Amino acid sequence: MSFDATHQKEQFKSVGTRPLRPDGVDKVTGRARYGADFNMPGQLVARVLRSPHAHARIVKIDTTRAEAVKGVKAVVTADDLPDLTNGDAALFAILDNCMARTKALYDGHAVAAVAAIDEKAAKQALKLIDVEYEVLPHVVDVDAAMAPDAPVLNDAIFTEGVTPKPDTASNVANRSEFGHGDVEAGFEAADFIVERSYKTGQTHQGYIEPHACVASCNPDGTAELWVCTQGHFVYRQNCADLLGLEVSKLRVTSSEIGGGFGGKTHVWAEPVALALSRKAGRPVKLVMSREEVFRASGPTSATSIDVKIGARKDGRITAATATLRYTSGPYPDMWAELGAMTSFACYDLENVKTVGFEVVVNRPKVAAYRAPSAPMAAFAVESAVDELAHKIGMDAVAFRIKNAAKEGTKSSYGPVYGPIGIGPTLEAAKAHPHMSAPLRENQGRGMACGFWFNFGGQTCTDLNINADGTVTLAVGTVDVGGSRASLSLIAAEELGIEYQDVKAVVADTATLGYNDMTDGSRGTFSSSMATISAARNAVEIMRQRAALMWDIPVEDIYWEDGHAKAAGSKYGNLAPLSVKDIAAESGNTGGPIAGHSELVADGAGVSFATHICDVEVDPETGSTRIVRYTVIQDAGKAVHPSYVEGQYQGGAAQGIGWALNEEYIYGDDGRLQNPGFLDYRIPVCSDLPMIDTQILEIPNPNHPYGVRGVGETSIVPPLAAIANAVSNAAGVRMSHIPMSPPRILAALKDAKG
């Protein structure tokens, strides 16, 4: 039976309930094992030496003195990770980022590493590695990096996407453009225009668990890696490529993961740990410090964005443009392009144009952060939309409803939408009691919308029916926030059995086929698709087994409510066979029963959200308090509503931190000034109110149960929602994120004149 992924099911028994998660007890008793909670016999401790310079040529590295330290078993530099990337620029960037080759490109860039019998010896050895640097001029600001006289990071970067191709190298790696219609004509037709420039600071995903791994290379050419990652299959591929290992010989096990949000989708130090292990001939444990996490992993782009939107008196937008400049760290990627694609995705626009510029700077290599690139674009666009509504004299929600994208809209980035949720989230916002609740002095209310694509991708799942009729579900997508519970619900639903009878585990790379990583909100979407498909395959087999048990043709057997049933009246006396009945006989009817599925989960439905936020701005200090917060988002179908709410709340909280506080601060020397949780302050419990959520369910037509990804969209609207609220509370339009107290005070002072 081929797998039919179209939306079919409306009535659910398990899906939509809120059972206890299978890994709950392990996690509340301290038994769950995360990246740093694993050890191997004979294991060494690794430490990484990092560049103190933002930009410097590495003239010479001498490791002799370090190697002589008692207890040191291996020292590695770029020489121990030879370039096997064969012209693959993306892979080379990963390699160069793991261990600087000719130049250190940011403060914190790894230049060497040590494995020793204990931390003391490793730290001592780090101090004795002699690195001769030739310090070069650096640039960390996105606009400064685009200036003609900016220090150029990479002589081989010539802006792509412009004709004619430039003949001088620059920091602008590429230009991307999206849109349709005639924006000039559109602005001509406008009665009102808002035009403004915005900036956003660079933030970090801020997962509480630092990167950690244990690497073990054996003399027989096999290797093992235990690691906290969002995608162990991808890590396996990257590490094998960089170390010249055969993929099958490297077994990667994903530990429990203490948060990732996109930051654990890229290898950082794992190839270095493997190289150390290979050289030392012993297992190596490498755990980053918090400072290293900030200086050398993660962050998102810093941006500078110009937006122009025009509308007629009646509130219809006639034209919209945005120019978006995104930092990517020292290596180009597609961050600006994603920003340019998402910026106007919420709206139905006749004339729209967005242009993205990918800019390299002396900051850490940018990694995905929850709906990567979308929050900054949404901040700029949704701020301008609000300002425009105000100018026209329309209510902010009504203005958005009038211009919202709907089924059949040609999106600003190209595709035509199917059934989507932006309109319904806006209608829900309009009707929400939060919208009409009274405000006190110095308080203001703001709202904003957000969009994210969601991804599907390659997925492989095994579903084993055990002899006692219970089910073991092996998935290859790492569980970052409760997906084992959701996938168990899905298996129970499809098989017609109890949730308690399903146990979902995350399989390692040696025991399951390839899976893309848990990113793009794909974990539950894609693995549920593969689980449904695997369950249907298992049901097929169970029908055949029932046919053998009853000795009747399989065509006369159908599956219903977890039972094989004989069709028609001629078998009237045959009592239905449960999964347990069939499993108990499996040894006599052909052996173990299992369903497998390998698929590319296409059709991840796009996702929309609307957030409402009340803030109170203290005019004396410029500090902002979140008074009330509501998230409204389309989930397609919420498989486990508690964890859907959790995604909504977590994304909102991260957005609040980004909006008000979080920011990488660089000194004039290009060094990161705040690489710790004290100075890079993420929201704490006393900073936040309860975060209300409303789940809408507009089924995704491309998923059997209508599921859409839910993990990312919730971080898209907060920046703008809060900026709009601050503007309504304090009467100043904040165009620079984070809206820290000094920035708000300065804006208040400016407004007074």
Q: Does 34 bind other proteins (CB under 8 A)?
A: yes
User: Which does residue 610 touch among other proteins, ligand FES, none (CB within 5 to 8 A, set by kind)?
Assistant: none
Q: Does 682 bind other proteins (CB under 8 A)?
A: yes
List of residues contacting ligand FES (CB under 6 A): 208, 259
Give the distance from CA 641 to its chain's centroid. 20
Cβ 584 vs Cβ 455: under 8 Å: no
Query: Applying CB under 8 A, which part among 306-314, 415-423, 612-620, 684-692 lies near other proteins?
Result: 684-692
Residues 5-24 that bind other proteins (CB under 8 A): 18, 20-21, 23-24
CB of 421 to ligand FES, least distance (A): 27
Gyration radius of the chain over CA positions: 27
Cβ 620 vs Cβ 441: under 8 Å: no
CB of 646 to other proteins, least distance (A): 5
User: Which does residue 206 touch among ligand FES, other proteins, none (CB within 5 to 8 A, set by kind)?
Assistant: other proteins
- Sign of the torsion angle spanned by Cα atoms 89, 90, 92, 93: positive
Give the distance from CA 353 to its chain's centroid. 26
Residue closer to other proteins, measured from CB, 1 or 685: 685
Measured in degrees and rounded to the nearest 5, phi and psi for residue 447 equal: -145, 160
- List Cα–Cα distances, 643 to 18, 230, 256, 384, 456, in angstroms: 9, 18, 17, 33, 19
Rounded Cα distance, 425 and 445, in Å? 17
Rounded Cα distance, 694 and 503, in Å? 29
Residue closer to ligand FES, measured from CB, 147 or 208: 208
User: Which does residue 283 touch among ligand FES, other proteins, none (CB within 5 to 8 A, set by kind)?
Assistant: none
Residues 209-228 that bind other proteins (CB under 8 A): 209-210
Q: Does 659 bind other proteins (CB under 8 A)?
A: no
CB of 645 to ligand FES, least distance (A): 14
Our CA dihedral for 479, 612, 683, 730, rounded to 10 degrees, sits at 160
Query: Regarding beta strands 736-737 and 691-696, do their DSSP bridges make them parallel or antiparallel, or are they unpaired?
Result: unpaired
- Sign of the torsion angle spanned by Cα atoms 288, 291, 292, 296: positive
Q: Residue 352: CA atoms inside 13 Å, Cβ hemisphere, count?
A: 23
CB of 257 to other proteins, least distance (A): 6
CB of 375 to ligand FES, least distance (A): 20
CB of 648 to ligand FES, least distance (A): 14
Q: Which one of residues 684, 750, 752, 753 is an interface residue with other proteins (CB under 8 A)?
A: 684
User: Which does residue 691 touch among other proteins, ligand FES, none (CB within 5 to 8 A, set by kind)?
Assistant: other proteins
Q: Does 30 bind other proteins (CB under 8 A)?
A: yes
Residues 250-289 that bind other proteins (CB under 8 A): 256-261, 287, 289
Q: How many residues does the chain have?
A: 753
Q: Which one of residues 85, 472, 642, 674 is an interface residue with other proteins (CB under 8 A)?
A: 642
Residues 480-499 that bind other proteins (CB under 8 A): 480-482
Rounded Cα distance, 99 and 365, in Å? 12
Cβ 204 vs Cβ 664: under 8 Å: yes
Q: Does 318 bind other proteins (CB under 8 A)?
A: no
Q: Does 570 bind other proteins (CB under 8 A)?
A: no
Residues 441-480 that bind other proteins (CB under 8 A): 480
Report helix, strand or coil for 217. strand
Rounded Cα distance, 437 and 439, in Å? 7
Cβ 696 vs Cβ 608: under 8 Å: no
Residues in contact with other proteins by CB under 8 A are: 18, 20-21, 23-25, 27-34, 36-37, 120, 205-210, 256-261, 287, 289-290, 480-482, 642-643, 645-646, 649-650, 652-654, 676-678, 682-688, 690-691
